[in-house]
């Protein structure tokens, strides 16, 4: 931002002088706000709900925003000219975030979009920072439509980018921009308001008693901030459609009080209709409901919608989203793929209800391999032979397209095979120049630029172990392995030399190796890899490594090993802080003591062992180095050195 950035960095503490000259204040009339926002301080409006958007058009070559956060835990998308440029965590203190530099000196559009939910705190917006001499101008792409979504964790996007059973709920794995709600709004070029909180219900919240919760949605719906009684929302902007996706938490144990559920739902509808005259309301049965709970919820919600319509205060419709299937997000919540599917269904329903045209556009991308990109749209597509010439991809280089085609099973998905491989972490932009691409409904797809989500990751070794017979070894990577892989760069080293690989098979993330000779019980074994030949299914090669110690579960012994005159600790040396021990059974009685000390004799770790053989797990903060290890009881004493690399 030329002189502006240097001066601004010096003046951040006071903000003096900048507001008047180089910063567009938050109360500028050309700034478009969407969502529930507290404008009590017009120069620093405050908000907490998912999906709040601040948008403006500006001239010049660079753009920044000034934000602060009361907890420092919220995440935002920074979007320029419709392209997502950054996913930004907002700090506690007032901070300038540079969104883009080096833009063409023309008119651009900027948007910040809140992707984390209200649980992570409140953010204040302090203004837009542009080049000296530049200005903000009126938005050319006016979003005249408005949709309001009232919901729970599903609408928030509860960890939809996480993996069930692997990740935990966090702002890092949550993305409201990729929810059914936000995708539906973008399909109509509509602004949207999200009033949502994870765990909230119509009359009772998740995990609460059947009698109900005072902090349920109908009681708190009028607020700007869910947990603050004041200020109340002014309801000055009337939505074209209000979507209510609640009930999942009321039915968390399939035992709701039906009378309270129905009466509270009517209370919420009555409030909406009193605030928004003749607004269409859609009552949604969400994708997480199942079994008897789904049956009851559908029955009650359909009855509520029908009864409310008969009151003649506006149309109230019932709509059911398809139940979730396939891979799930964290804590069994909908994944991004599920949200996309549900958005398609709701978009079609609203299109028919309101007679709105769906604006065809990409909703998500995926990097399948390092030279294969897929792009999913919100509409079924007709594809012509010009596809490869109308699309282009640019990252560190300009990529050429080898092949472009429509997915055989999903007519909304396009595939692009590139002639060159891109890198992990590389920013890739997809550009489309309007031409022959149309939807099945004969709508022309307009020109766009779209930031490809590059989800390639390094291929690394996770674990390795020797099976009990000593003949097989399993090497496990962090991702599925290409079936055409070779393992010429892999060597397995024992105490007396290298083991010869007889054969191998690929199964998911595992390479199952059969050896010519068996690995003996207690033998220290390590693996080296030179860094060639082993590929993930994304064509990213396994990173080279050396001296990876293998967990040895072999029970194979020769005659010499049958004489019990010693104890074994293996692997030793060890770089995992996890090792096996084997004490002579004839010596072992009820238990033994383990003691590890440094070379000066200072004891660092002790524990009791109740079996003659097993596994020792040292604390993760245990230091590396050479140590003295001692096993002892009333009947024996064994001592040795332990090397932790």
In a domain, 380, yes or no: yes
> Are 433 and 547 members of one domain?
no
DSSP string, 189-229: TEEEEEEE-TT--SSS-TT--TT--TTSHHHHTTBSSTT-S
> Are 72 and 115 members of one domain?
yes
What pLDDT, on a 0 to 100 scale, did the predictor assign at position 5?
A: 40
What pLDDT, on a 0 to 100 scale, did the predictor assign at position 566?
A: 63
What pLDDT, on a 0 to 100 scale, did the predictor assign at position 562?
A: 43
> Residue 539 and residue 480: Cα distance in Å, rounded?
10
Q: What is the CATH number of the domain that holds 69?
A: 2.60.120.260
In a domain, 558, yes or no: no
In a domain, 535, yes or no: yes
| pLDDT over 70, % of the chain | 94
Q: For all residues of the chain together, what is the average pLDDT? A: 91
Mean pLDDT (whole number) for 46-67: 97
What pLDDT, on a 0 to 100 scale, did the predictor assign at position 12?
A: 42
| 638 vs 285: which has the higher pLDDT | 285
> Are 378 and 470 members of one domain?
no
> Are 311 and 430 members of one domain?
no
In a domain, 557, yes or no: no
> In terms of Cα–Cα distance, which of 226, 336, 349 is closest to 285?
349
Torsion, CA 347, CA 353, CA 355, CA 361, rounded to 10: 0
Mean pLDDT (whole number) for 292-321: 95
> Residue 312 and residue 331: Cα distance in Å, rounded?
40
Domain endpoint, select from 418, 433, 452: 452
User: Do 516 and 500 meet the contact criterion of CB atoms below 8 Å apart?
Assistant: yes
In a domain, 382, yes or no: yes
> Residue 309 and residue 303: Cα distance in Å, rounded?
10
pLDDT at 362 over 90: yes
Torsion, CA 272, CA 277, CA 278, CA 280, rounded to 10: -40
> Are 471 and 606 members of one domain?
no
> Are 282 and 155 members of one domain?
yes
> Are 342 and 202 members of one domain?
yes
Within 44-188, strands assigned E span 46-47, 53-60, 63-69, 75-80, 83-89, 95-100, 106-114, 123-130, 136-137, 145-151
In a domain, 29, yes or no: yes
> Are 124 and 149 members of one domain?
no
Q: CA-based angle 271:276:278, to the nearest 5?
A: 110
Torsion, CA 45, CA 46, CA 51, CA 54, rounded to 10: 20
How would you classify residue 332: left for phi > 0, otherwise alpha for psi between -120 and 50, otherwise beta? left
> Are 232 and 327 members of one domain?
yes
| Residue at token pair 């090993």 | 561
pLDDT at 318 over 80: yes
pLDDT at 290 over 80: yes
Identify the three-state secondary structure at position 565: coil
Question: How far is CA 43 from its chain centroid?
Answer: 33
> Are 322 and 431 members of one domain?
no
Q: What is the CATH number of the domain that holds 448?
A: 2.60.40.1220
In a domain, 265, yes or no: yes
How would you classify residue 501: left for phi > 0, otherwise alpha for psi between -120 and 50, otherwise beta? beta
In a domain, 75, yes or no: yes
Q: What is the CATH number of the domain that holds 586?
A: 2.60.40.3080
Identify the three-state secondary structure at position 258: helix
What pLDDT, on a 0 to 100 scale, did the predictor assign at position 152?
A: 98
Mean pLDDT (whole number) for 532-555: 91
Please write the tens of the pLDDT for every residue from 435-466. 889 999 899 999 999 999 899 999 999 999 99
What pLDDT, on a 0 to 100 scale, did the predictor assign at position 364?
A: 94
Mean pLDDT (whole number) for 331-349: 96
pLDDT bin (cut points 50, 70, 90) of residue 375 is very high
pLDDT at 563 over 80: no
pLDDT at 583 over 60: yes
Mean pLDDT (whole number) for 278-294: 95
DSSP string, 314-358: S-EEEEEPPPP-SS--GGGPPPHHHHHHHHHHHHHHHHHHHTPPP
pLDDT at 13 over 70: no
DSSP letter assigned to residue 536: B
Q: What is the CATH number of the domain that holds 336?
A: 3.40.50.1110
What pLDDT, on a 0 to 100 scale, did the predictor assign at position 589?
A: 64
User: Do 1 and 101 meet the contact criterion of CB atoms below 8 Å apart?
Assistant: yes
Domain endpoint, select from 316, 336, 354: 354
> Are 495 and 437 members of one domain?
no
Lowest mean pLDDT among 19-28, 202-211, 626-635: 19-28
What pLDDT, on a 0 to 100 scale, did the predictor assign at position 608?
A: 87
> Are 404 and 522 members of one domain?
no
> Residue 381 and residue 376: Cα distance in Å, rounded?
10
Domain endpoint, select from 429, 452, 475: 452
Mean pLDDT (whole number) for 585-596: 74
What pLDDT, on a 0 to 100 scale, did the predictor assign at position 560?
A: 44
The boundaries of the domain holding residue 526 are 461-552
Counted domains in the chain? 5
Mean pLDDT (whole number) for 401-406: 95
């Amino acid at each position: 931002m030329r002189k502006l950035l240097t001066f601004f960095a010096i003046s951040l503490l006071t903000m003096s002088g900048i507001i008047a000259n180089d910063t567009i204040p938050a109360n500028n009339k050309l700034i478009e706000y969407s969502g529930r926002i507290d404008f009590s301080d017009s120069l620093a409006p405050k908000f907490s709900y998912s999906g709040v958007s601040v948008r403006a058009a500006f001239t010049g070559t660079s753009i920044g925003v000034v934000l602060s956060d009361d907890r420092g835990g919220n995440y935002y998308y920074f979007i320029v000219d419709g392209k997502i440029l950054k996913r930004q965590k907002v700090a506690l203190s007032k901070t300038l975030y540079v969104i883009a530099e080096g833009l063409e000196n023309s008119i651009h559009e900027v948007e910040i979009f809140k992707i984390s939910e209200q649980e992570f705190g409140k953010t204040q917006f302090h203004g837009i920072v542009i080049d000296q001499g530049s200005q903000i101008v009126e938005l050319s792409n006016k979003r005249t439509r408005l949709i309001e979504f009232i919901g729970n964790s599903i609408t928030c996007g509860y960890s939809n980018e996480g993996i069930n059973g692997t990740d935990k709920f966090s702002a890092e794995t949550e993305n409201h921009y990729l929810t059914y709600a936000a995708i539906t709004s973008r399909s109509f070029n509509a602004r949207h308001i999200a009033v949502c909180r994870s765990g909230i219900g119509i009359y009772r919240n998740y995990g609460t008693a059947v009698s109900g919760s005072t902090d349920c949605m109908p009681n708190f719906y009028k607020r700007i901030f869910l947990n603050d009684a004041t200020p109340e929302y002014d309801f000055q902007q009337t939505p074209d459609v209000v979507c209510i996706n609640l009930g999942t938490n009321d039915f968390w144990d399939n035992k709701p009080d039906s009378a309270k559920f129905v009466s509270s739902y009517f209370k919420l509808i009555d409030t909406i209709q009193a605030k928004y005259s003749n607004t269409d309301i859609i009552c949604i049965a969400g994708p997480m409901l199942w079994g008897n709970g789904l049956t009851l919820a559908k029955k009650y919600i359909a009855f509520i919608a029908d009864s409310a319509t008969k009151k003649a205060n506006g149309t109230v419709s019932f709509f059911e989203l398809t139940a979730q299937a396939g891979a799930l997000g964290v804590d069994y919540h909908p994944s991004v793929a599920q949200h996309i599917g549900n958005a398609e269904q709701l978009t079609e329903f609203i299109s028919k209800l309101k007679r709105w045209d769906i604006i065809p556009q990409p909703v998500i991308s995926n990097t399948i391999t390092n030279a294969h990109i897929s792009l999913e749209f919100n509409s079924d597509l007709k594809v012509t032979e010009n596809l490869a010439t109308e699309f282009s991809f640019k990252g560190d280089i300009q990529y050429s397209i080898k092949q472009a085609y429509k997915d055989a099973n999903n007519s909304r998905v396009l595939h692009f095979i590139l002639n060159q491989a891109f890198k992990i972490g590389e920013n890739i932009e997809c550009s489309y120049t309007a031409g022959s691409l149309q939807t099945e409904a004969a709508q022309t797809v307009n020109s766009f630029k779209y930031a490809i989500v590059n989800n390639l990751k390094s291929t690394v070794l996770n674990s390795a172990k020797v099976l009990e017979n000593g003949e097989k070894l399993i090497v496990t990577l962090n991702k599925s392995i290409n079936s055409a892989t070779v393992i010429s760069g892999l060597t397995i080293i024992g105490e007396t030399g290298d083991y010869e690989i007889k054969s191998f098979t690929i199964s998911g993330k595992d390479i199952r190796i059969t050896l010519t000779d068996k690995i003996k019980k207690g033998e220290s074994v390590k693996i080296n890899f030179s860094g060639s030949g082993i590929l993930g299914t994304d064509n990213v090669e396994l990173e080279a490594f050396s001296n990876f110690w293998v967990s040895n579960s072999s029970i194979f012994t020769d005659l010499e090993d049958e004489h019990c005159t010693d104890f074994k600790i293996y692997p030793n040396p060890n770089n995992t802080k996890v090792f096996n021990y084997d004490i002579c059974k004839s010596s072992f009685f009820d238990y033994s003591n383990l003691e590890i000390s440094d070379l000066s004799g200072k004891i660092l770790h002790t524990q009791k062992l109740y079996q003659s053989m097993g596994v020792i797990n040292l604390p993760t903060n245990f230091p590396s180095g050479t140590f003295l290890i001692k096993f002892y009881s009333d009947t024996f004493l064994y001592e040795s050195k332990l090397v932790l690399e």
